[in-house]
């Protein structure tokens, strides 16, 4: 089971043009994200999100275990001094070469480029991680969707209009709307005004 999550504004933005994104979504939506983390084996992000946000990827707002933390960074451009790589007892995996200053216990998978979503999912499954949360960023989530590697997509829409900045999902262009993805979904309104679109991409259609 591979789940992807995106937090975005009403106009589909995930940050301002400067990269500021804290916080588009309210406390209830953030708690939902942490609940998602608590129910997967591993949470996965790309190097861009690691550089921009330096997230912890832990479970802090709900009860539950911290998942393994996985970084896709084949050039190791985000470095080793990341909070997600801190030696706190959780498993940490990097798709990329080892660095001399990696914290103790960091596992590296030096897979050849280009690194496909199927390769990532397969490598993690071989290591016992079969429930995955693809948390960011936009390019990583979009790549997994385009490859058909996502079972469920959670889009958390905050009651805010940013007006500019990067968007959450960018897929290869289509010519007609009947080529678009139309997932089966459930919609939930949270008390703080965020709307959750829980999209079942396996039951969707083009």
Sign of CA dihedral 60, 21, 137, 184: positive
**Burial, 113: exposed, middle or buried (Cβ in 10 Å; 0-12, 13-18, 19+)?**
exposed
pTM of the model: 0.95
**Which domains are delineated in the chain?**
2-171 (3.40.430.10)
Would you say residue 205 has pLDDT above 70? no
Q: Residues 48-69: pLDDT tens digits? A: 999 999 999 999 989 999 999 9
Would you say residue 206 has pLDDT above 70? no
**Which SS3 state, helix, strand or coil, does residue 66 take?**
coil
Outline where 54-137 has alpha helix (H). 117-126
Q: In the block, which residue shows the tokens 């678009």?
A: 180
Residues 29 and 7 sit within 8 Å (Cβ to Cβ): yes
Tokens representing residue 62 in the block: 């709900």
């Amino acid at each position: 089971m591979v789940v992807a999550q995106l937090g975005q504004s009403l106009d589909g933005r995930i940050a301002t043009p400067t990269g500021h994104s804290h916080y588009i979504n309210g406390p209830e939506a953030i708690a939902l994200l942490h609940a998602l983390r608590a129910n997967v084996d591993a949470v996965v992000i790309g190097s861009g999100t690691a550089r921009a946000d330096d997230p912890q990827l832990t479970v802090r707002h709900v009860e539950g275990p911290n998942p393994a933390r996985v970084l896709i960074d084949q050039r190791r451009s985000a470095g080793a001094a990341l909070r997600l790589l801190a030696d706190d007892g959780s498993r940490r995996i990097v798709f990329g070469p080892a660095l001399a200053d990696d914290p103790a216990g960091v596992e590296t998978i030096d897979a050849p480029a280009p690194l496909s979503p199927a390769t990532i999912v397969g490598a993690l499954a071989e290591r016992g991680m079969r429930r995955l949360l693809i948390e960011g960023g936009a390019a990583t989530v979009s790549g997994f969707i385009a490859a058909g590697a996502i079972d469920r997509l959670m889009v958390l829409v905050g009651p805010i209009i940013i007006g500019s900045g990067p968007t959450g999902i960018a897929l290869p262009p289509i010519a007609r709307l009947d080529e678009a993805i139309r997932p089966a979904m459930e919609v939930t309104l949270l008390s703080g005004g965020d709307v959750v679109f829980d999209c079942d991409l396996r039951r969707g259609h083009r």
